[in-house]
Structure 1
């Protein structure tokens, strides 16, 4: 069974840019969940939708259609109010873009894989059934509350498959632990129990354990190397399920939960970077230079240049040829000819490196 990592990311420009620059290493393309946010507007209302469609097209071209999860959309979101719903709208947009780009050479894959909660209503399941009528596809079922999740699970999965008209297509399961700070034995035990039950019902290679440890807020400016508990938890669960492969999943370089709505207008954020290395992450941050209480012109770019200087000089730096993000980071060091002054740019570079890390490292070196 091949190792198949999964990365969950929010529908933001930095994340999409990282997908636009995936490396070309045969079948090593990761699986990707895109969690839709209200900021993704239908055509003519911003840049996020075109960037999402382009990222989805690139993934489909690689035979890895994106997994789309709409659970974060509010009822007032434009996509949620679309007559066909968010999934149908995106399925049409991505499929049309594939046809426009590749014509008869378009890959024989669906435009997207729907992600639904295990508690999905029959109305939600019927929406998935309509996608199946248009083009058969796999689906993913996401478990966020592990308490009692294994009880009557077989009946629930059979109901989902029947109402969603899954037929012979695969059903994947994602055990989502959300944000983790430590390896908690009780949480590991719940995840292990559910993973064993899912393996019995769905097969040996259809279950992924998803978790992330990136903090919601950043404090201090000292560079640090810290553990990634999501890797240790995954290893404990994977080792506890005999005869089956539990796939690894994480939230990349971002916190699992979207930030609360902030006050409109530009925000001042100190440049930062989360750089993934085997079993750990290097956390870096720089203060912005201020003049008379205000951020000095060009301060963000200058601070990130200083950060890039330190990273590229570290022995853990993978090298400018490792990924698009690493090449950009090397270019941002002093004299490299590039600058980066915005959060989406920092995220794009760090996520690009992270995606390459997951696809090029052996499971023992995650």
Structure 2
């Protein structure tokens, strides 16, 4: 029997929903082969310009001020995704560009057909987008991702909405993946658990899904206030998912896969940039077995002093796994002992390190308990 941690064609046991920015793409590319074999990302292309976006139905769409630049942005991101996937499948969600004139996405969709990437649609999206995504899925043979937020609709209406979408795209005759996106969850995870199980009951038997993914979590959007200086520890809200997944096996035929948002908050892909003073994003992050260690890095000429101090505190923690564990752990160790760049890099480097160690830890823990 082949080992799923070494078989490059094995099914995923972990689906991180990541913004398709260089820091996330580099972090995924830095994963060791045993981890990459069981990790299938859900990439979301962030908006190119403007303020934070939302995927709520009826939310105002702010058009990109430079449509030609948007086309170039989509082309560049797709090229990077294809390069880092190295022939492996992944889902790609371009929801932040879907309100643009349809002809602007034509080139992107034509390019997508020739990649291992799977387009994503949802019940809140325009029927033309749903049909166009299904057409790409049919032409590529890679299948289609259906991203659903179960908390947005009563479960009876959700089942009806998903059923109607499936009828609309039935012409594609392609595999469909159900991506249940719970968004941010807090420490009182009883309500998200009930929401997830009810959604699985409502939708699990509706279609012979190729893959069912349950996304929830994770890192806080604003800096947590807690014990420790300068490092803060906060509860890992994604930890309830593995137990929930075990309880869900066999419910209406669903066998869900674990998913979260990497080393970021769930809304990170709705923002143009990972950097800036508001919301909180300038930080070092580390995932332990039960908590997140988060250290804020205030802007200023001496920020490198804070970064090295935070890195030393993480490396000195009993939860640090050693420089050889992942590319992220190696970066933290190098930064802590002073061998890193003089200025200790940019927030993109900190987020990249956070993603690399988080993805590695979660994938290996899920493999160990599967």
TM-score range relative to shorter protein = 0.7 to 0.9
What is the CA-CA distance between 1:43 and the residue it aligns to?
Answer: 7.0
Q: Is the 8 A contact 1:183 1:233 kept in 2?
A: no
Correspondences of 1:115-194 after superposition (within 5 Å): 115-146=120-151, 147-151=153-157, 153=159, 156-157=162-163, 159-160=165-166, 163=169, 165-167=171-173, 169-194=174-199
2:29 corresponds to which residue?
20
Q: Is residue 223 from structure 1 mapped to residue 231 from structure 2 by the alignment?
A: yes
2:291 is equivalent to residue 280 of structure 1? yes
Deviation beyond 6 Å, 4+ runs, structure 1: 40-48, 259-263
The alpha-carbon deviation at position 266 of structure 1 amounts to 7.0
How far the C-alpha of 1:248 sits from its partner, in A, is 0.8
Alpha-carbon contact 1:199-1:206 (below 8 Å) kept? no
Structure 1 residue 262, shift from structure 2 partner: 9.2
Q: Equivalent residue for 1:100?
A: none
Counterpart pick for 2:353 among 349, 352, 359: 349
> TM-score, normalised on structure 1?
0.77
**Structure 2 residue 239 is matched with structure 1 residue 239:** no
- Distance in 1, matches of 2:22 and 2:44, equals 13
Cα distance in 1 for partners of 2:349, 2:31 equals 15
Query: CA separation of 1:189/1:348 partners in 2, compared to 1, >3 Å: closer, same or farther?
Result: same
Structure 2 residue ranges without an equivalent (≥5) = 1-9, 50-66
Deviation of 1:334 after TM superposition, in Å, equals 3.0
TM-score, normalization by structure 2: 0.76
8 Å contact kept, 1:56–1:94: no
- Give me the whole-angstrom Cα distance separating, in 2, the residues matched to 1:43 and 1:93: 18
Q: Return the match for 1:83 from 103, 119, 126.
A: 103
**Is the 1:253–1:351 contact (alpha carbons within 8 Å) kept by the matching residues of 2?**
yes
Q: 1:73 aligned to 2:97?
A: yes
Match of 2:82 among 56, 63, 73: 56
Q: 1:90–1:284: structure 2 CA closer, same or farther, 3 Å change rule? A: farther
CA drift of 1:22 comes to 2.2
Query: CA offsets, 1:216-235, max 9 Å, x none?
Result: 22155542333212221452
**What is the CA–CA distance in structure 1 between the aligned matches of 2:289 and 2:277, rounded to whole Å?**
33
Q: CA deviation at 1:39?
A: 1.4
1:205/1:350 CA distance change after superposition, 3 Å: same
Whole-angstrom distance in 2 between the partners of 1:84 and 1:114? 16
- Matched-pair contact (CA < 8 Å) for 2:314–2:320: yes
Question: Aligned-pair distance for 1:303?
Answer: 1.7
In 2: Cα distance, 1:259 partner to 1:67 partner? 14
Which deviates more from structure 2 when the two are superposed, residues 24-33 or residues 274-283?
24-33
Kindly indicate whether the alpha-carbon contact (under 8 Å) linking 2:150 and 2:195 is maintained by their aligned counterparts in 1. no
Contact 1:225 1:281 in 2 (8 A): yes
2:266 — aligned with what? 256
Q: Is the 8 A contact 1:67 1:113 kept in 2?
A: yes
Contact 2:284 2:297 in 1 (8 A): no
Over 3 Å counting, the alpha-carbon distance change for 1:362 and 1:144 in structure 2 is closer
Structure 2 CA distance for partners of 1:25 and 1:195, relative to 1, 3 Å = same
Residues in 1 aligned to 2:36 and 2:270: alpha-carbon distance in whole angstroms:
37
